[in-house]
Amino acid sequence: MSDLPSWLTDARLSEEIEPLLRNEDDDSLERLAAEAQAVTLRRFGRIISLYAPLYLSNFCSSGCVYCGFASDRTSPRRKLDASEIEKELLAMKALGISDVLLLTGERTNAVGFDYLCRAVEVAARHMPRVAVEAFPMSIAEYRGLAECGCTAITIYQETYDPENYGKLHRWGPKQDFLERLETPERALAGGIRSVGIGALLGLSEPVGEALALMRHARHLCHTWWKAGVSVSFPRIRPQEGEYRPQFTVSDRFLARMIFAFRIGMPDIDLVLSTRENPEFRDGMAGLGITRMSIASRTTVGGYVESDTASARQFEVSDNRSAKEFCLALRSKGLDPVFKNWDSAYNEPVTCKEATCH
């Protein structure tokens, strides 16, 4: 793809972490872990901020081979109405959750911008921090989401390999590699305060993905220096389509990747979800990871109903309750924090405030 942005192919933006990723020596991993832990403690203290996902809909218009919500899956489709969203939020609040990530599939006639705006408005009445992980939108649409109470968006590029990206996304709006790549900047231009990015590890060669992800994160931090940037490290999990990843991403490599990101980008939140098993999550907390999901349900309506009531987007690996997970963090001397944001700060930023000229 000849029109790739220059920052994506600029090796200087990530060259210092490549040796850290490729070194498989045990002693070097221990040294990385110690350095990452020291950096995390200096910059973030012992705090782990917690959030939970809320799946609004499993309608989708795209054909991603690795997703349980792809449009060729045979599972029943469903979306929550306003009263159902409110019930889900109240059930989440009963667990202590006050930071919510609203999720949908790609844009459809059933679930589009207007639906998402209404969902954000409902969520903002109950939660001090509302983030969205949905389809790419225009600057004007992101401005509308910010005005409704959305403070952050998450959007994974899935893979930074353009050729492999085309093979994995068989049809639908998600086929456009560059449009998705530019989405975080459109969100920030629209007044969203923080963006989260990531690659779905296992889809493409892991070292190359890690380097491209680092370049993307550094580009956003440099260009939008007043905005927040976070990086997630999702590994592909079993899902309805039963896609088998081309590449294996071991625990050791993922740990090395997290440590390298913490050392290379000391000020950003690094996020680990319930895709990972309890042992790995407990081990990474405070060693680089500063933000984690908790008590996750990956079905539509999963907090009020049984989490097996409809198809999951993917299988959760850490099924501990919020109480159990918090106890595990405290046993390591870490402080679980459910709220570190107040709705008084939810006014959208302007383009001028967000950009670095």
Q: Which residue has the tokens 């580009």?
A: 219
Q: Which of 232, 247, 208, 241 is nearest to 281 (CA)?
A: 232
Percent of the chain residues topping a pLDDT of 70: 91
Q: Which of 232, 132, 115, 236 is nearest to 183 (CA)?
A: 132
Contacts 24+ apart (CB under 8 A), 20-26: 20/256, 20/259, 20/260, 20/263, 21/206, 21/207, 21/210, 21/211, 21/253, 21/256, 21/257, 21/260, 22/207, 23/256, 24/252
Where is average pLDDT lowest: 62-71, 112-121, 231-240? Answer: 231-240
Classified as helix, coil or strand, 279 is: helix
Residue 172 lies in a domain: yes
Phi and psi, residue 102, nearest 5°: -90, 130
Residue 35 lies in a domain: yes
- Output the domain CATH number for residue 116: 3.20.20.70
Where is average pLDDT lowest: 43-52, 182-191, 331-340? Answer: 331-340
The whole-model pTM stands at 0.91
Q: What is d(CA 327, CA 323) in angstroms, rounded to the nearest whole number?
A: 6
Residue 351 above 60 pLDDT?
no
Mean pLDDT of 307-332: 82
Dmax over Cα atoms in the chain, in whole Å? 54
Q: What is d(CA 194, CA 152) in angstroms, rounded to the nearest whole number?
A: 5
Model pLDDT, residue 8 = 94
Residue 347 above 90 pLDDT?
no
Residue 1 above 80 pLDDT?
no
What is the band of 14 on the pLDDT scale with cuts at 50, 70, 90? Answer: confident
**How far is the first Cα of the chain from the last one, in angstroms, to the nearest whole number?**
28
Give the number of domains in the chain. Answer: 1
Residue 347 lies in a domain: no
| Sequential DSSP letters for 64-131 | BTT-TT-TT--SPP-B--HHHHHHHHHHHHHTT--EEEEE--S--SSS-HHHHHHHHHHHHTT-SEEE
Model pLDDT, residue 357 = 28
Mean pLDDT of 27-49: 96
What is the band of 237 on the pLDDT scale with cuts at 50, 70, 90? Answer: confident
Residue 142 lies in a domain: yes
Model pLDDT, residue 311 = 55
DSSP annotation of 203? S
Query: Taking the alpha carbons of 175, 177, 182, 187 in that order, is the dihedral positive or negative?
Result: positive
Residue 58 above 80 pLDDT?
yes
Residues shown for the chain: 357
Identify any residues that bridge with 196 across adjacent strands, giving them in sequence order.
Answer: 154, 230
Amino acid at site 104: T
Model pLDDT, residue 108 = 94
Q: Which residue has the tokens 């999990």?
A: 237
Where is average pLDDT lowest: 64-73, 157-166, 186-195, 256-265? Answer: 64-73
Q: How far is CA 71 from the centre of its chain?
A: 22
Which domain does 331 fall in, by range?
24-338
Where is average pLDDT lowest: 126-135, 203-212, 241-250? Answer: 241-250
Strand pairing class (291-293; 335-337)? unpaired
Task: Say if CB 42 and CB 286 are below 8 A apart.
Answer: no
What is the band of 247 on the pLDDT scale with cuts at 50, 70, 90? Answer: very high
Residue 113 above 70 pLDDT?
yes
Q: What is d(CA 131, CA 108) in angstroms, rounded to the nearest whole number?
A: 20
Amino acid at site 159: T
Model pLDDT, residue 256 = 96
Model pLDDT, residue 305 = 86
Residue 107 lies in a domain: yes
Classified as helix, coil or strand, 237 is: coil
Mean pLDDT of the residues in the chain: 91
Model pLDDT, residue 265 = 96
Model pLDDT, residue 240 = 61
What is the band of 216 on the pLDDT scale with cuts at 50, 70, 90? Answer: very high
Residue 208 lies in a domain: yes
Residue 59 lies in a domain: yes
| pLDDT single digits (tens) 174-183 | 999 999 999 9
Task: Say if CB 235 and CB 265 are below 8 A apart.
Answer: no
Residue 147 lies in a domain: yes
